[in-house]
Amino acid sequence: MQPKEQKSSPQLDMFRKRLANILNHQHELYRLADLIDWQAFENGFGTLYSENGRPGISIRLMVGLTYLGHAFSLSDEEVVRRWVENPYWQFFCGEEYFRHDLPIDPSSLSRWRKRIGEDGSELILKITLLAGLQSGAVRESSLERITVDTTVQPKAVAFPADSRLYNRSRVRLVKLAAENGIALRQSYRRLGTQALLKAGRYLHARQGKRARREIRKLKTFLGRVYRDILRKIADRQDLKEVFSPELAMAGRLLSQGKKDKNKLYSLHAPEVECIAKGKAHKKYEFGVKVSVAATNRDNFVVGMFAEHGNPYDGHTLSRALEQVKRIAAGAGVERCFVDRGYRGHGVAGTEVYISGRRRGITPQIRKELKRRSAIEPVIGHMKADGKLGRNHLLGELGDKINALLCGAGHNIRLILKKLREFLFFVLLFGWLERLRRPWAWHAEGDILPVRG
Q: How many CB atoms lie within 10 A of CB 58?
A: 20
Please give the Cα distance from 211 to 196 (Å, whole number).
9
Closest of 267, 273, 299 to residue 378, by C-alpha: 299
Handedness of CA 260, 264, 265, 270 (dihedral sign): positive
What single letter denotes the amino acid at residue 361?
Answer: I
CB distance 325 to 331 below 8 Å: yes
What single letter denotes the amino acid at residue 439?
Answer: W
pTM strictly above 0.85: yes
pLDDT, block means (10 residues), the chain with 452 residues: 67 77 92 94 89 87 97 96 96 93 94 95 96 93 94 94 96 96 95 97 96 97 97 92 96 93 93 86 91 95 95 93 89 89 88 88 92 95 95 95 97 95 65 62 47 42
Residues in contact with 259: Cβ distance below 8 Å, sequence separation at least 6, in sequence order: none
Rounded to a whole number of angstroms, the distance between the first and last alpha carbons of the chain is 63
Ramachandran quadrant class, 61 (left: phi over 0; alpha: psi -120 to 50; beta: rest):
alpha
What HEC string does 408-452 produce? HHHHHHHHHHHHHHHHHHHHHHHHHHHHHCHHHCEECCEECCCCC
CB distance 391 to 153 below 8 Å: yes
Helix-, strand-, coil-residue percentages of the chain, each rounded to 5: 55, 10, 35
Handedness of CA 308, 311, 313, 318 (dihedral sign): negative
pLDDT at 451: 44
Closest of 138, 63, 140, 121 to residue 329, by C-alpha: 140
List strand residue ranges (DSSP E) for 266-321, in order: 273-276, 284-295, 301-307
Please give the Cα distance from 248 to 219 (Å, whole number).
15
pLDDT at 447: 44
Please give the Cα distance from 370 to 91 (Å, whole number).
41
Q: How many CB atoms lie within 10 A of CB 417?
A: 13
What HEC string does 337-405 produce? EECHHHCCCCCCCCEEEECCCCCCCCHHHHHHHHHHHHHHHHHHHHHHCCCCCCECCCHHHHHHHHHHH
**φ, ψ for residue 259 (rounded to 5)?**
-110, 20
pLDDT at 429: 60
Three-class secondary structure of residue 292 per DSSP: strand
Please give the Cα distance from 216 to 219 (Å, whole number).
5
Please give the Cα distance from 407 to 301 (Å, whole number).
6
As a residue count, the chain comes to 452
Q: How many CB atoms lie within 10 A of CB 155?
A: 24
The whole-angstrom distance between residue 167's C-alpha and the CA centroid of its chain comes to: 31
Please give the Cα distance from 327 to 180 (Å, whole number).
50
Q: How many CB atoms lie within 10 A of CB 90?
A: 21
Please give the Cα distance from 220 to 440 (Å, whole number).
88
